[in-house]
Amino acid sequence: MDISKEKLEWMYTTMYRIRRFEETMLEQTFKGNSMGVTHPSDGQEAPPTGICAHLTEKDWIGSTHRGHGHCIAKGLDTSAMMAEIMGKATGQCGGKGGSMHIADFSKGMLGANAIVGASIPLAVGAALTAKYKGIENESVGVSFFGDGASSQGVLHESMNLASVWKLPVIFACENNGYAEATPAWYAVSASDIASRAEGYGMPGVVVDGMDVFAVYDAAGEAIARARAGEGPTFLELKTYRYHGHFHADDPKKYRKPEEEQFYLDKDPIKHFEATVTKQKLMSAKQLKAIRDAVEQEMLDAVEFGMNSPMPDASALYDDVYVNYSNPIQGLR
């Protein structure tokens, strides 16, 4: 396995951090400490980890309503994220965005997005900017979206534009099998969503989204193509969410127990642990040390959020309007 020790440690830390953040966030939600609806992504740790392992802060990602994992993989602070979900002034977006709108441009995170498919053209726009500036070798765009968004018109328009202009963008479809409660086999015309890429003249690759090493390899090739000026790639990452669509959703109403068990047996974190210990790349002691550190991080995140103040009423109109100046007198 051609992955450095440091990268392996980062990958395990990131996946475990995503898992424990989602579980901790759900605990706080059920205690009434979060603001609004939350969409957990536990089970889907491999796609954001395997892809973002290749990215820097100069690269841009667009996310979904299920965006906590993407935020964490792109380097956002979990205490600020927890405070944001709690609606606190110290939150990532001052408590105004909540779970579905966390963003940090300094990290190359264009934002989670409550509108299905809405981050797709944002990532394409970031790729267009890189192409225009001639920096595609150091700045690519990655759009994360689900199987439900794969039938949105904005995706197909974006894929066509990206292919025509050979933009450095990756279309990362996290196919967890369900658009809310609607199964992909019922709503999507193709058995492999990635097969649609051929119609837009770009590679379409189906990846085991429960295997972070498979995601890492496929993403590495796609991102290398983008940086080399060879255009976009469509990755279909077949994954699974362990909880419902949102915190109060009961997936047992539309998923069979044997299906859920099948994917529990493919747990991406357990698969990582088994792989690295068998190949003697990391020890059980090393893995435990990482888990212990993340557990403390989650305790600190909750404490930070709970002890943070609510936004002051005077901040209500902050960040709402942008004042565009105009050199022509009398126009603003």
Which domains, and CATH codes, for the chain? 5-311 (3.40.50.970)
Closest CA to 203 of 184, 187, 219: 219
Closest CA to 211 of 3, 5, 15: 15
- The pLDDT of residue 332 is 40
Q: Provide the residue-wise pLDDT of the chain in tens; the chain has 332 residues.
A: 899 999 999 999 999 999 999 999 999 999 999 998 999 999 999 999 999 999 999 999 999 999 999 999 999 999 999 999 999 999 999 999 999 999 999 999 999 999 999 999 999 999 999 999 999 999 999 999 999 999 999 999 999 999 999 999 999 999 999 999 999 999 999 999 999 999 999 999 999 999 999 999 999 999 999 999 999 999 999 999 999 999 999 999 999 999 999 999 999 999 999 999 999 999 999 999 999 999 999 999 999 999 999 999 999 888 888 766 655 554 44
- The pLDDT of residue 330 is 47
Could you tell me the pTM of the whole model?
A: 0.94
Sheet holding 169-175, edge to edge: 60-62, 141-146, 169-175, 233-238, 204-208
Task: State the first-to-last Cα distance of the chain, in angstroms, to the nearest integer.
Answer: 58
Are the C-beta atoms of residues 103 and 146 closer than 8 Å to each other? no
CA distance 158 to 122: 10
- The pLDDT of residue 331 is 42
What dihedral do alpha carbons 73, 75, 76, 82 form, nearest 10°?
Answer: 50
Amino acid at 167: L
Closest CA to 269 of 52, 45, 5, 22: 45
CA distance 100 to 147: 18
Which residue in the block uniquely carries the two structure tokens 């009423």? Answer: 313
Are the C-beta atoms of residues 287 and 278 closer than 8 Å to each other? no
Structure token digits, residue 64: 């979904």
Helix (H, G, I), strand (E, B) or coil at 121: helix
Structure token digits, residue 289: 């040390």
CA distance 156 to 116: 14
Residues facing residue 233 across a β-bridge = 170
Structure token digits, residue 24: 């901790």
β pairing state of 169-175 and 141-146: parallel
- The pLDDT of residue 76 is 98
- The pLDDT of residue 328 is 53
Helix (H, G, I), strand (E, B) or coil at 134: coil
